[in-house]
Amino acid sequence: MKKAKLFTALILVIAVTVLLVVKTRHASEGEQSEEATETTTSSLTETTTRTQQKIKKVQIYVDPSLYDATVESESDYVQLYQTTDMTTVVGEVHRGSWVEYLSQTADLIQIKTDDGLTGYIPQANGEISEVTINDAPKTLSDLKIVLDAGHGGSDSGALSTDGTIMEKDLTLQTVLTIGQTLSDVGVQVSYTRQEDQYLALADITAISLDAEPDLFLSIHYDNYNVPNGNQGFTVYYYYPSYETIATTIADQLVSHVDLVSNGSRFGNYFVIREQYVPAILIELGYLNSDHDLQVITSDGYAAQVATGLLAALKEMVAAN
């Protein structure tokens, strides 16, 4: 009996000792991982020394008499020739879009498009300018972002089915919430508008390029020709180079908002086409979808969008 009791006591002591050792080890692992997280977060909020470079870019010439930015037509495109004798057309480039400058002759400019097409255009079809390009932002504090609230003033944008909710009001509210969330963690935020104001599309791109941002983000709400015919958010890029950013944003948004994701897509929109900085346009749900409208107008939707975008931006700078 006595021997058995002693044995039981011994087993208990061993068991308690093992438990304590395991617990201590877990605690120190937890501390370590917490430290590691802290390091990552603080390094994302440090400001590093940025470098900029001046490079020559070409904007495909916009002839106002030929070009109506609101209507697509064949005259919106300029032909790209394979050689200087201009016998073979290798493709076409959209007016107002930006391409890489390679060289020039008295009559021609040799260019390279973002999707890798090289060729010649007549001098009259392109305007060469020296532009400032930022190196890739490595921290959130490095990041300069321009937020654009779609529509405004006399341009109400899309409407809810009952006509009471205007896209221009929602985009402004959303953009101001996003801006606050991003500023709070050190992102350098500027806006194309902060009040109910009409801006021409060319004004929007001019304001953005003046700010020399690392990213231009235009916020919109969608409309479909048939009520309830479509739903969800969509993230648009114009230049293939920015598809990765668009996909990162779509992937983060879907885990933060209660809308279906239509993923990232090519979109031929003026404000993302007529800029040489990374530019993305997001349609944050359909105003004439009953389901989407309920989500979009719910308390906290803008904050969820902001949190999703912040997560995407963290991913973006961490990858640089």
Q: Which of residues 151-170 bind Zn ion (CB under 5 A)?
A: 157
Least Å distance between CB 221 and Zn ion? 6
Say if strands 261-266 and 233-237 run parallel, antiparallel, or are unpaired: parallel
Q: How far apart are CA 53 and CA 303, in angstroms?
A: 35
Judged by CB under 5 A, the number of residues near Zn ion is: 3
Shortest CA distance to 253 belongs to which of 165, 190, 315? 315
Least Å distance between CB 64 and Zn ion? 23
Please give the residue whose beta carbon sits closest to Zn ion in the complex: 220
DSSP assignment of 176-198 equals: HHHHHHHHHTT-EEEES-SSS--
Least Å distance between CB 201 and Zn ion? 11
Among 150, 278, 285, 308, binds Zn ion (CB under 5 A): 150
Q: Which is nearer to Zn ion, 125 or 174 (CB)?
A: 174
Shortest CA distance to 43 belongs to which of 144, 188, 141, 136? 141
Q: Which is nearer to Zn ion, 151 or 314 (CB)?
A: 151
Q: How far apart are CA 306 and CA 238, in angstroms?
A: 22
Stretch that binds Zn ion, among 143-151, 173-181, 267-275, 310-318 (CB under 5 A): 143-151
Least Å distance between CB 312 and Zn ion? 21
Least Å distance between CB 260 and Zn ion? 19
Q: Which is nearer to Zn ion, 126 or 157 (CB)?
A: 157
Give counts: helices (H), strands (E), the chain.
7, 13
Give the DSSP H or E segment for 81. strand 77-81
Q: Which of residues 168-227 bind Zn ion (CB under 5 A)?
A: 220
Q: Which is nearer to Zn ion, 242 or 269 (CB)?
A: 269
Name every residue whose Cβ is closer than 8 Å to that of residue 83 and which is 6 or more positions away in sequence.
120
Residues of the shown chain interacting with Zn ion in the complex, contacts defined by CB under 5 A:
150, 157, 220
